[in-house]
Chain A
């Protein structure tokens, strides 16, 4: 899924780019700091950013609940908004919502007006770490964070977007960061969008498992690429009053932490060095 896009990206390394910010509704409504960190990161790497005001939401809340027809207007609004300013790339701090944007081209394939636009959206849109690593070709963001952390790998970014390695490559290069492996990293945290609210019993059992595994690492920071998963896991740990020692950080905030620009490092020979998006796992 990502291979064609990767190939194209490599040629664009180090060149000037205009990036359209896809903030996602969760950042707009609840977590401004994630959006801020992302914008600061992109500016530091020499991107010009634009922000189309009419963007709202990728449409997952209703689409994934079965309201396909009701969601078409949401898709079209989002598509029109994100393409309303001509930019080289569209970048968002969420693998799940970007994967949804990618799906538009299948959903709207029979729509004479939108089919082509949806393809353009697919070609241009990237999750943040994927963009930094695979498009900008950056290995080391220059960040420093002297602490222990564990990483929650979100399902949609891994399986629907097909990106399981970019965030880990970038985190490995954060100075001072000690990453502790998370047991059963492949299991869903129980967020699942409206699932978490519609099926609280199931979701609770799932997030409890995840919380237990996170707490077992004794890490001070829980890092993820998906603020929604983080607010689920963090919210549950907080409810259980077991999180005094824990800080929740979106990966954008980690990569934007205590940056020394002189340490920013680019991939040298992209063809050989870059780790494949889907990793080596078979699960």
Chain B
């Protein structure tokens, strides 16, 4: 499945998502809460636009010199006594980590939340090793794991689609006997995972930013599970998307500041850590430190219109402002990368064939672009995908395609458009109904259309099935006729 979370058609997913009332209410609540927190956190920082400029500059600079920064980072990882492996794709990355786990005789593996390990399907690969057990230690990821590996629906709040009762049921399967109060359930998990942590021998983390000039890894969490994951096990593997790099600690500091404010509306999350393999005279931290740098299709963005997408720092704020995500949540998108960033990323990493609908699941409202802390022109990139799909790949062979091409001709030819104005009333009037006092007062002076025959084109149904359409004015009563009459009169008055 790759990054896909569902093999159902897009429309089915949307219908299912829209039927899930709890999920929709919880996404809306989360969006509204984050709206307040995020806005306030950014306001307090001051000059938010200046911070965005700086953050975007850092990310663009890094992407421009990506091979150089990766080279510098690699050199420093090795200088620190660590190991680094460059993986072309997810399979190579997973295979490497699997072989390492076998070699190290890993028994109890801990993981802290990482989108890239979900992207490459690492967990399932590792679990094929006999005798190996694996534990996701982020509370949300742990819930998903215990719920038979349910898929995440948000890149920062993976269990946004689940309510406390559902979570209680999940925990009961592993011995929880308490009520559905979140704090009580969290206490249970703390105890459960602490016991596991104490016997772990192999830790896997993602990476918020890799520090090129000293070989350190920057991780940002609220729970602290990442820190334990990289302190107790003797072996640590860091899995990073190849673009997740910064020149030095200073740029990590800048980006952590915009990341935490954008992701969760906090100035800094509880834990922002910078670490590498342990020093000889230290007591904890990994003896063996591995970094796996993953491409997995990211190269396709380089030197194209989509290159700015590599700036993404996975803060999820575009999901939190998206009016479409608000309605369908992560499941509607059917990708581990949902929302606006997912609508851009999924067709690239997972292919247009599988994700061709996502760029159309967008009203182009631009809220994502406006909120993006690293200034990715998300809305433009979504539109660009439509261009690739229609003009380049010709993925649409339906009546809609024909109609829109006709609209293209009609809006380029004054003669054709004049015909449209001339016949609009005559053509649509037969479908119209007279307005009644029940109707909105001034929206339908010539009547309304609230029903179309089945044979009408899909596009027309799309509009009329949801909302009433006005019957166009009679030709001689349209704006242009009025204007000429008015202009003549004005001229006459002025004479």
Contacts and interface: CB of A to CB of B under 8 A. Distances in A.
A244 B479 contact: no
A244 B438 contact: yes
Interface stretch (A47-55, A125-133, A262-270): A47-55
A69 to B, nearest CB: 5
B444 to A, nearest CB: 8
A205 B448 CA distance: 22
A184 B32 contact: yes
Interface string A47-81: 00101011011010111111111110110110001
Nearest to B371: A283
A141 interface: no
A56 B417 CA distance: 7
Given A39-B483, A57-B417, A74-B411, A202 B324 contact: yes
B462 A199 contact: yes
A199 B361 contact: yes
Interface stretch (B70-78, B82-90, B141-149, B387-395): B387-395
B487 interface: yes
Contact of B364 (A184, A195, A237): A195
A207 B467 contact: yes
Interface residues of A, number: 83
A70 B324 contact: no
Interface stretch (B53-61, B130-138, B277-285, B401-409): B401-409
Given A202-B14, A248-B442, A64 B364 contact: yes
Contacts of A203: 363, 462, 466
A54 B416 CA distance: 11
A2 interface: no
Contacts, number: 254
A194 B480 contact: no
B462 A200 contact: yes
A53 to B, nearest CB: 7
A225 B326 CA distance: 24
* Interface residue SS majority, chain B: helix
A76 B417 CA distance: 15
A160 to B, nearest CB: 6
B245 interface: no
Contacts of B387: 66-68
Interface residues of B, number: 87
Interface string B454-485: 00000111110111111011000111101110
A248 B445 CA distance: 12
Contacts of A53: 414, 480
Nearest to A233: B467
A30 B473 contact: yes
A23 B484 CA distance: 13
Residue among B11, B14, B365, B414 having the largest count of chain A Cβ atoms under 10 Å:
B365
A246 B442 CA distance: 9
Contact of A74 (B412, B462, B486): B412
Given A61-B407, A201-B15, A241 B438 contact: yes
Contacts of A85: none
Interface in B14-32: 14-15, 18, 24, 32
B365 A155 contact: yes
A200 B463 contact: yes
A29 B442 contact: no
A206 interface: yes
Nearest to A155: B365
B411 A238 contact: no
Contact of B366 (A54, A159, A249): A159
A66 B409 CA distance: 15
Given A32-B482, A67-B408, A283-B321, A244 B437 contact: yes
A54 B462 CA distance: 30
A179 to B, nearest CB: 19
B14 A201 contact: yes
Given A25-B411, A195-B363, A207-B466, A246 B440 contact: yes
A283 B35 contact: yes
A191 interface: yes
Given A36-B479, A203-B363, A30 B412 contact: no
Interface string A199-218: 11111111101000000000
A198 B459 contact: yes
A67 B479 contact: no
Contacts of A243: 439-440
B466 A204 contact: yes
B424 interface: yes
Interface string B422-462: 00100000000000011111111100101000000001111
Contact of A159 (B42, B365, B411): B365
A83 interface: no
B421 interface: yes
A246 B410 CA distance: 34
Interface string A213-234: 0000000000000000011101
B479 A49 contact: no
A281 B413 CA distance: 41
Residue among B24, B328, B389, B390 having the largest count of chain A Cβ atoms under 10 Å:
B390
Given A190-B323, A190-B363, A205-B327, A36 B482 contact: yes
B440 A70 contact: no
A282 B490 contact: no
B412 A56 contact: yes
A61 B462 contact: no
A17 B96 CA distance: 71
Nearest to A156: B366
Contacts of A184: 32
Contacts of A81: 414
Interface string A239-283: 101011011110000000000000000000000000000000111
Given A51-B487, A206-B363, A201 B479 contact: no
B468 A235 contact: yes
Nearest to B412: A73
Interface in A59-109: 59, 61-71, 73-74, 76-77, 81
15 contacts: A36-B483, A51-B483, A64-B383, A66-B389, A156-B365, A190-B323, A195-B360, A196-B466, A200-B461, A201-B18, A203-B466, A238-B448, A244-B437, A247-B442, A282-B39
9 smallest CB-CB distances across A and B, nearest first, come from A192-B363, A66-B386, A235-B467, A66-B390, A197-B462, A188-B365, A70-B408, A73-B412, A155-B365
